[in-house]
């Protein structure tokens, strides 16, 4: 059966577009609806209660759009709200943390894995828990609060970014990591700047790749794949639509034609 219903994808802003990029590469026939919660950006410093409210509103909105599956394209929500929201979700729902952890343990040679993520994700420890559940690994984590505002502003290089990269990642290199998980979906957009600091001996893991592989398996198991040659994407935000459009267009090579603003209250 050919199921043309869209996939729902959400994040605080443009970060989840790294997951959209992987979707376009791996499952180009799937339609998708993307929600950027720009009114509440950044998520990294929000309380659990706030994050639960946002997740509930967004999932409800996506379900109203008749999505067939939901990808939580956000490390923070995948860590904090997903374990609860998946209990009552009527369609398959998945996040990025499990795929990131699996990719990291495949990549490491010395068993020392670094995680960079939002403060909320680091405090929650979800990446660490997933990784140590997979075997005997040492995990070192660092929160990078200055990265998300830079990505949202479309800044992917320059002195300000280099200073932040050095500050956040030096302590992890000192621990001898050979693998670094980009544990917030905004961070793969900074991969070039991060890689030029860490050097080729550290493997960077973008959880988006494994996330979409996992999504493909879920669509297969549930017999809800779309076999079309080319899908459509629709983009919604809760706050600033202009900056989303500008940064998003840079990130997705101008594929965003229109961004619609949605208010939940």
Residues in contact with ligand DGL by the rule CB under 6 A: 11-12, 15, 41-44, 74-76, 118, 121, 148, 184-186
Q: Which residue number, 33 or 74, has a Cβ lying nearer to ligand DGL?
A: 74
Using a 10 angstrom Cβ sphere, with 0-12 exposed, 13-18 middle and 19 or more buried, the burial of residue 263 is: exposed
Instruction: Specify whether 89 is catalytic.
Output: no
Which of 171, 179, 211 lies closest to 195, judged by CA? 179
State which residue has the least CB distance to ligand DGL.
Answer: 15
Q: How far is the CB of 103 from ligand DGL (least distance, A)?
A: 15
Shortest separation between residue 150's beta carbon and ligand DGL, angstroms: 12
- Min separation Cβ 4 and ligand DGL, Å: 28
Judged by beta carbon, residue 15 or residue 224, the one nearer ligand DGL is 15
Our CB check for ligand DGL shows the closer of 48 and 220 to be: 48
CB of 136 to ligand DGL, least distance (A): 27
Nearest distance in Å: CB 228, ligand DGL: 28
**Of 43 and 140, CB closest to ligand DGL:** 43
Per annotation, catalytic residue among 89, 144, 184, 263: 184
Q: Considering the complex, state which of residue 31 and residue 38 has its C-beta at the smaller distance from ligand DGL.
A: 38
Q: Reduce the secondary structure of the chain to three states and give it as a string.
A: CCCCCCEEEEECCCCCHHHHHHHHHHCCCCCEEEEECHHHCCHHHCCHHHHHHHHHHHHHHHHHCCCCEEEECCHHHHHHCHHHHHHHCCCCEECCHHHHHHHHHHHCCCCEEEEEECHHHHHHCHHHHHHHCCCCCEEEEEECCCHHHHHHCCCCCCHHHHHHHHHHHHHHHHCCCCEEEECCCCHHHHHHHHHHHHCCCCEEECHHHHHHHHHHHHHHHCCCCCCCCCCCEEEEECCCHHHHHHHHHHHCCCCCCCEEECCCC
Whole-number Å distance between alpha carbons of 19 and 188: 10
Whether 144 sits among the annotated catalytic residues: the reply is no
- Residue in 74, 89, 144, 263 annotated catalytic: 74
Residue 75 or 248 with smaller CB distance to ligand DGL: 75
For residue 1, what are its two tokens? 């059966």
- Nearest-approach distance from CB 77 to ligand DGL, in angstroms: 7
**Catalytic residue positions, numbered:** 74, 184
């Amino acid at each position: 059966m050919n199921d043309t219903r869209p996939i729902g994808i959400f994040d605080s802003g443009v970060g989840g577009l790294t997951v959209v990029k992987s979707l376009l590469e791996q499952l180009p026939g799937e339609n998708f609806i993307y929600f950027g919660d720009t009114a509440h950006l950044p998520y990294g410093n929000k309380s659990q209660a706030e994050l639960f409210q946002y997740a509930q509103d967004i999932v409800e909105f996506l379900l109203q759009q008749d999505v067939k599956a939901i990808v939580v394209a956000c490390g923070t929500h995948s860590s904090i709200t997903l374990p609860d929201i998946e209990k009552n979700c009527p369609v398959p729902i998945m996040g990025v943390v499990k795929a990131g952890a699996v990719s990291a343990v495949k990549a490491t040679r010395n068993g020392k894995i670094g995680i960079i993520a939002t403060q909320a994700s680091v405090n929650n420890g979800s990446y660490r828990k997933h990784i140590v559940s997979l075997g005997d690994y040492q995990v070192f984590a660092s929160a990078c609060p200055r990265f998300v505002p830079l990505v949202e502003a479309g800044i992917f290089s320059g002195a300000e970014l280099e200073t932040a990269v050095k500050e956040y990642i030096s302590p992890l290199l000192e621990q001898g990591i050979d693998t670094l998980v980009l544990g917030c979906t905004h961070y793969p957009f900074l991969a070039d700047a991060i890689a030029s600091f860490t050097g080729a001996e550290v493997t960077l893991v973008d959880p988006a790749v494994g996330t979409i592989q996992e999504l493909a398996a879920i669509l297969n198991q549930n017999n809800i794949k779309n076999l079309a040659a080319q899908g459509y994407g629709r983009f919604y935000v809760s706050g600033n639509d202009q900056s989303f459009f500008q940064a998003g267009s840079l990130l997705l090579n101008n594929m965003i034609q229109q961004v619609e603003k949605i208010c939940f209250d």
